[in-house]
Amino acid sequence: MIKSEQAIAGVFVTRDATGALTDAGTGPAGVLYINGAADDAVVTITGSNPYTWSCTTPALTAGDVVQMYITATIATIATAAVVWSATADTKRVSDLNDQDGTGVTLHSDYDLAKTAAQPGEEMDLVNAPNGTAITAIQAGLPAATVTALWAQLVDGTITYGQFQATMLGMIAGLTTGGGTGTLKFLGQNGTTERVKFTLDANRNRLTVTFDFADL
């Protein structure tokens, strides 16, 4: 796949009627074709067997067929061939690194300044502040994907969402029962016993229970 205004290059050789490598007497010359029609892109050819060709593609639309057509005269034999062919793409991930948008043509609804996105829309994660970029990623995730992630099992029957709630309760939740045989870590509502430990005299955990009813 190639894209608009992209530098392209390749190599080719010329041979005589016996198949031996022979430099072209006239030419070689190259013409870039777009969907079978000659384009006015400048083609540069250097070297000799192998010759090197290079040029820059014009503005392209997704699905355009781009071909390099080379002609030459070799010991009075006129010959020609398509030496390279590709199909134009709309964009690549690497396009996000082109911050000013020059040299890159994407499909018509691309907006480099866009920092929020819905599924299928573009996100400018290069120029956006970190917080905005994260928001854009979150906004672009399908709800089903987020739900599936939250329901993913982490250990036994504990889901990823329940694990996160447990960690929040133990790190930032209120506690009750300190110094007794039952230690409780509360959820952010201040009442749900997110994690409850029963302890022996040496403060070893005997049982651990969770409460995820409010999730």
Strand partners, 26: 73
Of 104, 101, 100, 111, give the one whose Cα is nearest residue 89. Answer: 104
pTM flag (> 0.75)? no
Half-sphere exposure of 144 (CA within 13 A, CB side): 1
Q: What is the mean pLDDT of the chain?
A: 77
pLDDT by residue for the chain (215 residues), tens only, comes to 778 888 989 888 888 777 788 888 888 899 999 988 999 999 999 988 888 999 999 988 888 889 998 888 887 788 888 888 888 875 544 454 444 444 443 333 333 333 344 444 444 444 444 455 555 555 655 666 677 778 888 888 999 889 999 999 999 999 999 999 999 999 999 999 999 999 999 989 999 999 999 88
CA distance 46 to 11: 10
Q: What is the pLDDT of residues 116-165, one digit of tens each?
A: 444 444 444 444 444 555 555 556 556 666 777 788 888 889 998 899 99
Strand pairing partners for 155? 158
Extents of the domains making up the chain? 7-87, 93-146, 152-210
Distances (CA, A) of 104 to 9, 32, 43, 175: 18, 19, 20, 57
Burial track 104-127 (b if 16+ CB lie within 10 A, e otherwise): bbbeeebebeebebeeeebbbeee
